[in-house]
């Protein structure tokens, strides 16, 4: 029965929401990510980001932990029914939060070798190394009382700058970082966006401010390990944005969807 006192308003169109995500790229990323997780017996997280390096636009972002948006509390994709039945309400709540969590934005990790191009780019920008320079890798460096090994414990031998990245040489990275020193290295980590939020327009971005070294607390061994992406943390979206700035010629764009 109509309310005789009701006021009727004409409908108005809402605002448009346009995403940078490309459904085709997203589908491809999810398919190959699923295959890679299975092939490598990944027990924890498998994630991927595809970003337009010239704009910061996210074209695809995926995790192996997926759920049905129409049935978001269904844990069947991650657990057996027996496991679900054995969970307390608190355990279910934790399982839901882990399933819903966007690792690419909300979690941090040691980046490892993907950080090496950043070390080389910073050194080239500062004129500390030249593009035609060579480095000798003998398998390790003695730094700060520690013997820090290369990925090749027997050494890569003589490498060009390009080959240091092709061979993923820790030894060469440590030599480059030592020339830079803690002041310049720490400044470039800030320039590349580490230790600060990217500002991506998604909720739950991790705060990594306390997960990197600064010039005043970075020792020689810390500098050496940082040069090849260890002993500090970043998020996937931080690393994607930083690498994009190297690839596109030096412009840092705020990642966005």
Q: Which residues contact 66 (CB under 8 A, 6 or more apart)?
A: 30, 77
Model confidence at 1: pLDDT above 70: no
Q: Report residue 5's pLDDT band, with 50, 70 and 90 as the boundaries.
A: confident
Model confidence at 49: pLDDT above 90: yes
Q: Report residue 45's pLDDT band, with 50, 70 and 90 as the boundaries.
A: confident
Measured between alpha carbons, how far apart are the two ends of the chain, in Å? 45
- CA-to-CA distance for 137 and 86, rounded, in angstroms? 54
Predicted pLDDT of residue 106: 96
Q: How many CB atoms lie within 10 A of CB 216?
A: 8
Query: What global pTM score does this model have?
Result: 0.88
Q: Report residue 221's pLDDT band, with 50, 70 and 90 as the boundaries.
A: very high
Model confidence at 108: pLDDT above 70: yes
- CA-to-CA distance for 163 and 255, rounded, in angstroms? 30
């Amino acid at each position: 029965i109509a309310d005789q006192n009701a006021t009727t308003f004409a409908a108005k169109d809402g605002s448009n929401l346009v995403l940078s995500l490309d459904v085709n790229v997203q589908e491809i990323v999810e398919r190959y990510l699923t295959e890679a997780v299975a092939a490598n017996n990944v027990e924890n997280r498998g994630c991927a980001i595809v970003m337009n390096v010239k704009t910061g636009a996210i074209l695809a972002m995926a995790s192996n932990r997926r759920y049905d948006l129409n049935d978001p509390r269904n844990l069947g994709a991650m657990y057996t029914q027996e496991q679900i039945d054995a969970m307390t309400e608190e355990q279910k709540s934790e399982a839901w939060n882990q399933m819903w969590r966007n690792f690419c934005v909300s979690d941090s990790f040691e980046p490892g070798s993907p950080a090496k191009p950043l070390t080389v780019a910073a050194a080239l920008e500062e004129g500390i190394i030249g593009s035609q320079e060579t480095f000798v890798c003998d398998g390790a460096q003695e730094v700060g009382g520690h013997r820090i090994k290369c990925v090749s414990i027997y050494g890569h031998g003589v490498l060009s700058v390009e080959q240091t990245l092709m061979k993923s040489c820790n030894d060469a990275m440590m030599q480059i970082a030592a020339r830079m020193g803690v002041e310049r290295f720490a400044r470039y980590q800030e320039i590349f966006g580490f230790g600060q939020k990217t500002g991506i327009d998604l909720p739950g971005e991790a705060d990594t401010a306390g997960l990197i070294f600064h010039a005043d607390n970075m020792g020689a061994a810390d500098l050496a390990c940082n040069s090849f992406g260890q002993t500090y943390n970043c998020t996937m979206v931080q690393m994607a944005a930083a690498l994009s700035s190297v690839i596109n010629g030096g412009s840092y764009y705020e990642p966005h969807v």
